[in-house]
Amino acid sequence: MTSKIKRGVSLYSFQEEMFLGRMSVEDCIAFAASIGARGIEILPEQNMPSFPHVTDREVEHWKEMVARHGCELTCYDMFLDTKLRRDRMMTDEEQIASIRRDLSLCARLGIRNMRVLVFVRPDILERCVPYAEELDVHMGVEVHAPWHMEHAWLLRTVEIADRLGTKHLGLLPDMGIFMKHYPPAWRARFEREGARPDVAQFIVDQHEAKIMAEYTIYEVAVKMRGNPAEVRMAETLRHAPYSNPKRIGDYMPYFRHIQAKFYEMTPDARDPSLAYEEVISELVAGGWEGYLSSEYEGNRWIQDVEDVDSREQVRRQQLMLGRLLGQAGQEARHV
């Protein structure tokens, strides 16, 4: 079996360099192309200064720029500013209008996948389905930690998609939900902030044993009289779930794109925390087609002690993805 899974990059991966003015959007796209990651996931609010008033000329510029580097736009990350006003939350009609605006720009850019933030209410998305169908854009609700694909909130989206019989509403997994081991970069940051090594090790061991986060937080905060850094470290366990990769096949029909979240890569191109090997094996075996889009989010854990090199981190992850996709394809051929 030859895998049809493709490799891409989210421009979010280069947020550090773009913020500091060390890389332009085109620099990011050119780099992605140079390492064989030809799918480009964009965040219009971050990457398009004129957003939301993007002209046709700007749209054409984006299309030409991406094509010039042999790439394609794969996913549009939308946001919903429900607290745009100080005096009140957005009304339902205003939320729908905002999502419809994003669907329109997504389609104008020629993108067929739109990442929807997990907090957007399922009933709001149901009312947006006709617009998504009209524009042929898939709305994928981001399955982001601490949620998981079998969380009741996300199952409401699955139920709506099934009831409507639509192919334009589903899920978009973020690989952060498959945290098998506690990230070394997280631990190191908390130790630099004052966490004692023995307490940090206790928290890592609790995560390894998959003890419920609240129990660990209580142990650290109350019984161990943890200092602020130790309590904060324990509290990260609330957002460090390990979903079962074996269940991904049950939800594969509902997603078209995957955010390949990662926090750090080792020099030999391995992820010390997330269960990529298991997940990619399941994706290939299930015949999934789509883009794995690198999403580096480790900058904030190391920027206090070293210069962030997002390019090197993304390069290493792309090497790993290529290796795992090749291995999984070989295994599938021998089943």
Name the token pair of 101.
């605006």
Q: What is the pLDDT of residue 131?
A: 98
Name the token pair of 262.
């990662």
Q: pLDDT by residue (tens digit) across 39-59?
A: 999 999 999 999 999 999 999
Q: pLDDT by residue (tens digit) across 248-289?
A: 999 999 999 999 999 999 999 999 999 999 999 999 999 999
Q: pLDDT by residue (tens digit) across 67-88?
A: 999 999 999 999 998 888 899 9
pLDDT, the chain, mean: 96
Q: What is the pLDDT of residue 8?
A: 98
Q: What percentage of the chain exceeds 70 in pLDDT?
A: 97
Residue 8's identity, in one-letter code, is G
Q: What is the pLDDT of residue 330?
A: 60
* Best CA proximity match to 142, nearest among 259, 236, 238, 263: 259
Residue 328 — pLDDT band, cuts 50, 70, 90? confident
Q: What percentage of the chain exceeds 90 in pLDDT?
A: 94
List every span in the chain annotated with CATH 3.20.20.150: 5-179+241-334
Q: What is the pLDDT of residue 333?
A: 55
H or E element at residue 320: helix 310-333
Rounded Cα distance between 32 and 191, Å, is 33
Name the token pair of 298.
């480790």
3-class SS of residue 7: strand
Q: Is the pLDDT of residue 298 over 60?
A: yes
Please give the CATH topology (third level) of the domain spanning 5-179+241-334: TIM Barrel (3.20.20)
Helix ranges (H only) for 49-196 are 56-68, 92-108, 122-135, 152-164, 184-192
Rounded to two decimals, what is the model's pTM? 0.94
Q: pLDDT by residue (tens digit) across 213-254?
A: 999 999 999 999 999 999 999 999 999 999 999 999 999 999
Q: What is the pLDDT of residue 3?
A: 79
- Strand 257-262 and strand 169-173: the pairing is unpaired
Q: Is the pLDDT of residue 332 over 70?
A: no
Q: What is the pLDDT of residue 266?
A: 98
Q: What is the pLDDT of residue 227?
A: 98
Q: What is the pLDDT of residue 335?
A: 47
